[in-house]
Structures are given as C-alpha cells and as structure tokens.
C-alpha cells in the first residue's frame, strides 16, 4: 500500500516533468491545433480516423495513440508501452509535429495520464469523449475516481487559453451529461451514433468502414465543425483500413481469424455480439486477463461473457506480470457456468492460437483478444516476450 505522502511525491514528480518539458520544448502546443480523445474504448481508432479525415482534406497531421505515432508522412510503432507517455515524451512529440509543419495533433488522453499531469502545460483546442465503462479500478481506487480523471481533462480543456474550443461528447453514453457539464466554456456538441447512421441511410451516403460507427460519428462531427467538407470525410472513411489489432481480420475464408484488443467485459461483449451477427459458424474465443493486480474483478466477468457467446473457449496467458498465470486462468474460468461447449486452458499463447486454428472449420470465426497490436507479453521479474499476435496467426495459418 502506497502512503499518502508517497502519492503526493509521485504527483509532484510528474507535475514537474510536465512543467519543465513544456519549457524545454518551447510550449509547442501553442503552434498546433491539439485535440485529445478520452474514454474507455475507441480512443486509438478515433484518433486515427481524425488524422485520416484531416489528411484527406489536405492538412498535415500528427497523432499519438497506444498503437502507433504519426508525424507528417512518417509512421512508427508506439513502443513506449503507454498510450499517453510521460517524462517529456508528449511535449517532444508535439515539438516534432510543429517542426515538421503539422497543423493538427490528435492525442489519446488516458485516465492515468491525467492523474500524472501529462495533459498539463498544453494548450488544448478540442476534446472528444467516446464512452465510459469500468477499467483501471485498482489503480484509481474506484470507478468514480476513474471517471473523475476523464472529467478533469474536459474541465482542463474548458480553461484552455485557445479560442474556439470544441468538445464532442458521445450522447449515447450514460455519462454524457457529466462530460457536457465539465466542458462548459467550450462549444459542446452531443453526437449520437444512431442518429449519424440514420442520416447516412437517408442521404444515401452509407459507408463501409471497419470501425464502430460511434468512432466515425464523433470524428465526423469534429471535422465538420472545423469546416472539413463532407466529400473529404467520405473519402477518408471509405479508404480507412482500420487500426492494427482492432477488429483486424487476419483471414476471412474459409474460416475467419480476427485479432482485437478487447480487454474489458463491455468491449468483449460488443465484439462477440458483432461477430455472432456477422457469421453463421461457431465462435472460437482465445482470451486471458492481465496480471499484476490489474482489474482482478473483471476476470470472472470475462469468462461469463466468453461462455455466453463462444462455442469453444481457450483460456491463455495475456500479461501475467508477477502473478501466477494458472491462477489468473482459474479466476476467469470461475465465471463460466452451465457451458455446453468446450473449454481449454493452455498457458502458452502460441499453442493456444494453434489449438484454436486447428479446431476451426469453414464458416467458423477464431477471435483472439486482449493483446491486439501490443508488442510484448510481460512476465514476472520484468521478463518480456516480444509478440505480434497477427504475425503469429499468419505463421500458424501458413503452416
């Protein structure tokens, strides 16, 4: 248990990092239009959609997400292990973006990043709220504290010295009114994905984009408010290839193989429900749960959801850190009741993927969740196994 005094020292430490990094790099956010995307799910996809839309309109853009970083035309994998990296990395990213002639920078804003003051000493122009579901409960102490971290970013946006600040809120989320209230001082837009979908159908502008319509609706709303033409938006959405590790189809026939990051009960349920509707065959789910004391409450819930939707459940390692991997799998399995399908517990993730593929028949869907585009499996004593889920599955399929 960390004492209150130690927590205060940690807070001061991160606050000073944010302050001095901004001074060192010359307040780069002042030279850019900076937009933060916060929420539980969909941050990476929304960030990349925004960059694609503004890029289609001829703007030079930069983005930083948990998956990768783009500055102008250069794209690289985010290997920091953090969606919103600290110790000056965020200010350095903005400085590089401004130096490269970018006009817009789109950034994932995480709850832990906010608690560690990484959003401070930045002049924000916009904020987008995607959705809210329980996550990082242990690290924040409660769901309310987790939600408060997200809300505090919107309050910070409202106080930004930039003019014409824009806050876009997912109107379909139960926490929408809280985020609308937190952003007073900015121009607030409440956006409904359902309404966005109906408008597309009525105007005949239906798009086939490999992301949740929620993300597309939010990105479109912000772009239109910044006077981006509907033609540029349509062009970007039609051409968008998705984000690596987010609803990524490694193969579609004769059976589908999908990689997705889904690591919360809500995101896992949505993913399985979508795949069930889109496919008539069996659903073969490969999943685990993070260790290191992270969100232990969700383990039985993940098992319950897997049993609800899947015909075959394969439990495997995700990121056990210093916990007993077998115990983590047992805790997931404890949520599975009256399951008529098959359950396998295979700690070696490569073997688990091989087993899933070997069981698949034409029309089935193999879906591996929890890792997405992450580049490593993290074990005890800081041991790391470098990992690429999509590449592993491609190798297995070639064999």
pLDDT of 35-44, one tens digit each?
999 999 889 9
C-alpha closest to that of 256 among 367, 373, 372: 367
- Cβ atoms of 103 and 61 within 8 Å: the answer is yes
CATH of domain 248-398: 3.90.190.20
CATH (residue range 4-239): 3.40.1190.10
Q: Is the pLDDT of residue 209 over 70?
A: no
For 271-313, what is each residue's pLDDT tens digit?
A: 999 999 888 899 999 999 988 877 888 999 999 999 999 999 9
DSSP string, 181-239: HHTBTBEEEEE-HHHHHHHHHHHT-----SS-HHHHHHHHHHHHHTT--HHHHHHHHHH
Out of 129-138, 214-223, 232-241, which region has the weakest mean confidence (pLDDT)?
A: 129-138
pLDDT average, residue stretch 326-340? 94
Please state the rounded mean pLDDT for residues 303-327: 95
Give residue 210's pLDDT band: very low, low, confident or very high (50, 70, 90): very low
Residue 76: strand pairing partners = 69
d(CA 57, CA 303): 44
Distance, CA of 92 to CA of 22 (rounded, Å): 9
Whether the predicted pLDDT of 163 surpasses 90: yes
Hey, where are the domains in the chain? 4-239, 248-398
Torsion, CA 377, CA 80, CA 372, CA 330, rounded to 10: 40
Q: Is this model's pTM higher than 0.85 or not?
A: no
pLDDT at 220: 94
pLDDT digits (tens, 9 = 90+) for 49-98: 999 999 999 999 999 998 899 999 898 888 776 778 888 999 999 999 99
Smallest CA-to-CA distance from 48 within 162, 130, 155 is with 130
DSSP at 33: E
* DSSP notation for 15-30: HHHHHHHHHHTT-GGG
HSE-CB at 166 with a 13 A cutoff on CA atoms is: 19
Instruction: Say if residues 36 and 109 touch (Cβ distance below 8 Å).
Output: yes
* Share above pLDDT 90 across residues of the chain, in percent, rounded to a whole number: 71
């Amino acid at each position: 248990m960390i004492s209150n005094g130690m927590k205060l020292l940690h807070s001061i430490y991160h606050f000073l990092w944010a302050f001095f990094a901004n001074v060192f790099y010359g307040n780069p956010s002042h030279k850019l239009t900076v937009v933060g995307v916060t929420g539980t799910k969909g941050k990476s996809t929304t960030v990349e959609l925004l960059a694609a839309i503004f890029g289609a309109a001829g703007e030079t853009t930069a983005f930083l997400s948990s998956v990768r970083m783009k500055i102008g035309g250069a794209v690289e994998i985010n290997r920091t292990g953090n969606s919103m990296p600290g110790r000056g990395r965020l200010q350095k990213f903005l400085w590089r973006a401004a130096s490269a002639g970018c006009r817009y920078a789109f950034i994932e804003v995480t709850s832990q990043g906010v608690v560690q003051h990484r959003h401070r000493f930045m002049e924000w122009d916009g904020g987008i709220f995607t959705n809210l579901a329980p996550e990082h409960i242990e690290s924040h102490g409660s769901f309310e504290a987790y939600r408060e971290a997200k809300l505090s970013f919107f309050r910070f946006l409202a106080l930004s010295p930039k003019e014409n600040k824009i806050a876009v809120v997912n109107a379909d989320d139960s926490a929408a009114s809280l985020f609308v209230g937190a952003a007073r001082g900015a121009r607030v837009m409440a956006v409904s994905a359902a309404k966005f979908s109906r408008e597309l159908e009525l105007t005949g502008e239906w798009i086939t984009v490999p992301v949740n319509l929620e993300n597309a609706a939010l990105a479109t709303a912000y772009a239109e408010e910044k006077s981006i033409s509907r033609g540029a938006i349509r062009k970007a959405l039609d051409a968008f290839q998705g984000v690596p590790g987010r609803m990524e189809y490694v193969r579609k026939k004769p059976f589908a193989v999908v990689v997705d990051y889904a690591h919360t009960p809500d995101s896992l349920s949505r993913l399985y429900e979508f795949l069930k509707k889109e496919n008539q065959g069996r659903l073969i789910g490969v999943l685990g749960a993070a260790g290191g004391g992270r969100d232990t409450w969700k383990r039985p819930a993940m098992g319950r959801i897997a049993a609800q939707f899947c015909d075959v459940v394969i439990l495997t390692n995700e990121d056990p850190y210093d916990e007993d991997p077998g115990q983590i799998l047992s805790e997931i399995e404890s949520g599975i009741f009256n399951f008529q399908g098959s359950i396998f517990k295979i700690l070696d993730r490569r073997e688990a993927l091989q087993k899933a593929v070997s069981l698949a028949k034409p029309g089935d869907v193999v879906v591996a969740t929890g890792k997405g585009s992450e580049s490593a499996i993290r074990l005890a004593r800081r041991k790391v196994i470098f990992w690429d889920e999509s590449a592993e599955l491609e190798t297995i399929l070639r064999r």
